[in-house]
Amino acid sequence: MLIESGSPVAADNRIGISLTINGQQRELQVAPWTTLLDLLRERLDLTGTKKGCDHGQCGACTVLVNGTRVNSCLTLAVMKDGAEITTVEGLAGLANDGAGSNGLHPIQAAFIEHDAFQCGYCTPGQLCSSVGLMNEGHAKSRDEIREAMSGNICRCGAYTNIVDAIEDVMQGEAR
């Protein structure tokens, strides 16, 4: 599918890139200034990824790029040509044993079980960040999880429940 990015100003400046988004390969024409976040939200209607500050200060826009968590608001789409992008909409597809019977990735199910969100706006970023954190494999203790999750602000204050949910999934995977 060919997606055009940008207004008439962008028309002469578009660059062709190829991204695999949630397992689906997309051929895209994007303006060089289009961020990965705006590409997802404004052009591809993947509004699960949130814009909280557009300055890399809140983490609401966190997505996985080749399994690594990044702030999509600070990432120009053209920089990621050829990359594999996973957003909250595609998280379930990443589950090791496939999604559970509820169709969710274990971290999504754990967030519901531990009430790890309230308004839900930071949640997609928290979820992607949690998966990124587990991929990194550095954080083991609660203190380390807290530290490594501090790039994702939750104004509703669900932090202790977020740590509970991550710990739960990490322990489940260790078993």
Partner 1 sequence: MTQTFSSTGSDRFVGSARSRVDGPAKVTGLARYAGEFTGPDLLHGTVVSGTIARGRITGIDTEAAEAVPGVIKVLTHENRPRTAWLDYNYQDAVAPPGSPFRALYDDKIHYSGQPVALVVAEDFETARHAAALVRVSYAAETPATDLTAVGDLAYDPPKKRSGIKPPPKPWGDADAVFDTSAVKLRETYRIATEHHNPMEPHASTVIVEGEGRYTVYDKVQGVSNSHAYLASVFGLDKDKVRVMNPYLGGGFGSGLRPQYQLFLAMLAARDLDRSVRVVLTRDQMWSFTHRPETLQTVSLGADADGTLQALRHDALAPTSRFEDYQEVVVNWSAVLYRCDNVALTYKLAQLDVFTPGDMRAPGAVTGVFAIETAMDELAHATGLDPIELRLKNYSERDATAEDKPFGSKALKSCFTQGAERFGWSRRNPEPRSMREGRELVGWGMATGVWESMMQQTSAHAILTADGKLEVGNSTGDIGTGTYTILTQIAADSLGLTMEAVTTKLGDTDLPEAPVAGGSWTAASSGTAVMKACRDVGEQLFKLARQMDDSPLANVDFERVAFAEGRIAVADDPARGVALVDVMRAAGVEKLEATASAAPDKDFNATYEAYTHSAIFAEVKVDEELGQVRVTRIVSAIAAGKVLNPKTARSQILGGVVMGIGSALEEESMMDTRLGRFMNHNLSEYHVPVNADIHDIEVIFVDEEDKANPLGVKGLGEIGIVGTAAAIANAVHHATGKRIRDLPITIDKILA
Which residues make beta-bridge pairs with 26? Answer: 19
CA 15 to chain centroid, in Å, comes to 24
CB of 145 to partner 1, least distance (A): 8
Q: Which residues of the shown chain bind partner 1 in the complex (CB under 8 A)? A: 6-10, 31, 33-34, 38, 41-42, 45-55, 57-58, 60, 87-89, 91-92, 102, 104, 108, 111-113, 115, 117-124, 127, 145-147, 149-163
Q: Let me know the angle formed at the C-alpha of 21 by 92 and 33, rounded to the nearest 5 degrees.
A: 135
- Shortest Cβ distance from residue 69 to partner 1 (Å)? 14
C-beta closer to partner 1: residue 55 or 82 = 55
- Least distance (Å) between residue 119 CB and partner 1: 3
Name the residue nearer to partner 1 (CB basis): 82 or 101.
Answer: 101
Q: Of 138, 134, 56, whose CA–CA distance to 91 is shortest?
A: 134
Between residues 84 and 159, which has the closer beta carbon with respect to partner 1? 159
Q: Which is nearer to partner 1, 60 or 82 (CB)?
A: 60
Instruction: In angstroms, give the least distance from the CB of 3 to partner 1.
Output: 13
Distance CA 73, CA 35 (A): 6
Q: How far apart are CA 152 and CA 9, in angstroms?
A: 34
99 phi, psi to nearest 5 deg: -65, 155
Residues 6+ apart with CB under 8 A from 171: none
CB of 13 to partner 1, least distance (A): 11
